[in-house]
Structure 1
Amino acid sequence: MQTPSRPLIIAHRGASGERPEHTRAAYERAIQQGADFIEPDLVMTRDGVLIVRHENEISGTTDVAARPEFADRHTTKTIDGESVTGWFTEDFTLAELKTLRARERLPELRPANTAFDGQEPILTFEEVLDLAASAGVGVAPELKHPTYFAALGLPVEDAFVAILKRRGLTGADAPILIQCFEVGPLQRLRARLAAPLLQLIAASGGPFDRPDLDYAAMTTPQGLAAVGGYADWIGADTALIEPPPGAPTTLIPDAHAAGLKVAAWTFRAENIFLPEADRIGADPAGHGRLRERLARFAEYGLDAAFMDQPALAR
């Protein structure tokens, strides 16, 4: 994949600023707006199918809480060291999950999106691949909590690789960009695939599967060189590239020196998600100066931007 003349546009869960995330409508909207890639987050069902949801806890993105037939599956679990209460994909079969309908995750900030609540089913990973292939765009799947799922006897990596092999998406030039916050899954995938891999890096904490490692260490020149041993990209929190009040760090040039391309997450138009200097007015849901922010990141040498509103990047 060649470095583009402008940053690639990765539609973050589709055009999730305009439609409920991870729905067909969100992905189709993103494609219409000129996204280069669409991004599905992948979790597993009880019967081992990869489906598309932001998290395996689905009370905020589906109508499961209003479904009395599933009331007894409300529970509390520990996910990557954190206690989470709700309904979880691994407790449902694909057939059961297909009866649910998607809803807007951030209704207070995106009330217009609630007009689409209840209209669409949960998609499988393969359905998103079909949509992308028919539109001629790439796919940037994120493997969510693979260590957690493996402990349940649900091997995300094996199911994922099987799909990519069946579809011919294993080569270095495949229109796919495989993401994970954990390290081990990407290292194992590198031994099985030549497809591009992206190590996600947050502004704090560290990979769940590597308690000996933190993300701060991964952003040093030495850490980036280590990431370059198995990945082709990093996906960095925007704060790691431009911390307030706005002077850029050396992360992008350091990553480029290590042979890594850099994607940044997540660019959103609403004031609440923008640095203070880029906000317009006091309404948290109001749109600020996202275009200006994107222009700065492009000048820094950014290779790709995860966008909730892809049209604004064009």
Structure 2
Amino acid sequence: MASEARPRPLVIGHRGAPGYRPEHSRSGYELAFALGADSVEPDVVASKDGILVVRHENEISGTTDVASRAEFAHLRATKTIDGDEHTGWFTEDFTWEELSTLRVRERLPMIRPSSASFDGKQGILRLADLAVLVDAASEQQGRPLGMTVEIKHATHFDALGLPLDELVATELDDAGWGSGRPLIVESFEKTVLAGVSARGLEAEFVYLVERSGAAADVVARDGASAITYAEELSDGGLDALAVLVDGVSADKTLVLSLDEDGVATGATDLVSRLHARGLTAYAWTLRPENRFLSAGFRRGPADAFGDWASEFAVILGTGIDGVFLDHPDLGVAARDALDDRAGVRRGPDGDGVGGRR
């Protein structure tokens, strides 16, 4: 059965609001909701003692002050994570008590110096902390706000005896997010999505795909013969995915039709192909700075804002179910502009109420 697109696409605060505050910080998540986000996206990894912490990666030297903390110098290590070698400090080598002493930092300080001005002011959050924050924001705004929980490096953690499917399902259930909540669970690995679903957690399970390469869990199982993301997005691949997951979240360049110079000439048919198979469709990550925009939308210096509104409009115009943004307010503005062009009336809280003006 064909999927019906949401009446209005979700605006999802990608790691909070990292265009304005350090990613995954408390103030970043609070700001995301204040700017109109419908959901926020925490990346989830684990500590040595099995506590789920909210960090973009398990290697944390780029987003915390750990490299300057002499008491943790001995924990610096080199590891191979999902086939890539990394040197730094890894959450699985710290207890939560140790991680809780660290301060968060902006990951892209040269691009976002305003966000970097908040470095050192806040600590790391646990997933449980974020669940409480979302509950409070929902009550304050009088509308159901969501979480889009991304499980990171599940195969790696499973090998360490830290099964993220079990930990995530238990944590969310204990926090009251086990059923009836606007919850999305996503991962680049289908295995962990299946594991969480099998534990009875009620959520929308979404498979993340990149423009190239293959999923880490599939590579770990099948080696060089692993099916690629491109193959999974073929018609046959999507038919298979429709049995396993509820939706697909794609690199935005898979939604944009790009010529050989990287200039967007419109949109691909990916969203309609997903909807035709009953799958929801999402895109990541929409950012306004020229360095992140497709070539045809760049205007001026690399770190200045380009014609983000036009790029966002192409993506939202596909009927997509949600988009991930570093600046949630720009997503709200782009969605409102789409409503205006379609003649959709908005209520006093900004929500579309159907019909034409």
Name the TM-score, length of structure 2 as normaliser. 0.85
The 8 Å contact of residues 6 and 298 in structure 1, kept in 2 or not, is answered as no
Q: In the alignment, does 2:223 pair up with 1:223?
A: no
Q: Equivalent residue for 2:352? A: none
Of the three residues 221, 234, 240, the one matched with 2:254 is: 240
Paired position in structure 1 for 2:169:
161
The CA distance in 2 between the partners of 1:232 and 1:118, in whole Å, is 39
Which stretch of the first structure deviates more once superposed, 225-234 or 304-313? 225-234
1:257 aligns with 2:276: yes
Written as runs of structure 1 = structure 2, the 5 A alignment for 1:127-146 is 127-136=129-138, 137-146=145-154
Runs of 4+ in 1 over 6 A off after TM superposition: none
1:180 to 187, 192, 204: 187
Q: In 2, distance between residues paired with 1:274 and 1:108?
A: 17
SS at match of 2:324: strand
Matched residues, percent identical?
44
Alignment deviations for residues 262-298 of structure 1 (CA, whole Å, 9 cap, x no partner): 01000011110001111111x1110111122111112
1:303 aligned to which of 293, 299, 321: 321
Match of residue 218, structure 2, among 197, 205, 210? 210
Q: Which of 116, 125, 128 is 2:127 aligned to?
A: 125
1:187-202 to structure 2, matched below 5 A, reads 187-192=194-199, 193-202=201-210
Q: State the shift of 1:222 in Å.
A: 1.6
Is contact 2:15-2:326 (8 Å) kept? yes
The reply to whether residue 82 of structure 1 matches residue 84 of structure 2 is yes
Q: 2:42, 2:243 → 1: CA distance?
A: 25
Measure, in 2, the Cα distance between the counterparts of 1:265 and 1:297. 10
Q: Confirm or deny: 8 A CA contact 2:288 2:308 kept in the other structure.
A: yes
Of 277, 299, 305, 2:296 maps to: 277
| Displacement after TM superposition at 1:2 (Å) | 7.5
- Asked if the contact 1:221–1:258 (Cα under 8 Å) also holds between the matched residues in 2, the reply is no
| TM-superposed deviation, 1:3 | 3.9
Residue of structure 2 equivalent to 1:54: 56
- Cα distance in 2, alignment partners of residues 77 and 112 from structure 1: 32
CA displacement at 1:188 relative to structure 2: 2.3
Residue 309 of structure 2 is matched in structure 1 by: 291
Q: Is the 8 A contact 2:102 2:123 kept in 1?
A: yes
Is 1:92 equivalent to 2:94 in the alignment? yes
State the 1:70 CA deviation.
0.6
Instruction: Give the alignment's Cα RMSD to 1 decimal.
Output: 1.3
In the alignment, residue 280 of structure 2 is paired with which amino acid?
K
Q: Is the 8 A contact 1:101 1:118 kept in 2?
A: yes
Equivalent position amino acid for 2:310 in 1 = E
Quick one: distance in 1 between partners of 2:148 and 2:185?
A: 6
Equivalents in 1 of 2:218, 2:85: separation in Å? 19
CA–CA distance in structure 2, aligned partners of residues 170 and 123 of structure 1: 20
Q: Does 1:170 align with 2:191?
A: no
* Aligned residue identity for 2:321: D
Report if the CA contact (8 A) 2:164-2:192 is conserved: no
Q: Which has the larger radius of gyration?
A: 2
Deviation at 1:127, TM superposition (A): 0.5
Q: How many residues align?
A: 312
Aligned partners of 1:169 and 1:221: how far apart in 2? 34
Distance in 1 (alpha carbons) for counterparts of 2:175 and 2:64:
29
8 Å Cα contact 1:15/1:27 also seen in 2: yes
Counterpart-to-counterpart distance in 2, 1:167 and 1:73: 31
1:266 paired residue among 277, 285, 298: 285
Distance of 2:137 and 2:12 partners within structure 1:
14
Structure 1 residue 230: Cα displacement? 2.1
Shift of 1:174: 2.2
Query: Which moved further from structure 2: 179-188 or 51-60?
Result: 179-188
Partners of 1:14 and 1:38 within 8 A in 2: yes
Deviations 1:149-181, CA, capped at 9 Å, x for gaps: 01011111111111122233233x421100100
Instruction: State the Cα distance separating 1:133 from its structure 2 match.
Output: 1.1
> 1:190 touches 1:231 (CA, 8 Å); kept in 2?
no
For residues 40-95 of structure 1, give each alpha carbon's deviation from its aligned partner in whole angstroms, at most 9, with x where no partner exists: 00000011000000000000000001001111111100000110000000110101
Is the CA contact (8 Å cut-off) linking 1:50 and 1:124 kept in structure 2?
yes
Q: Would the aligned equivalents of 2:5 and 2:320 in 1 still touch at CA under 8 Å?
A: no
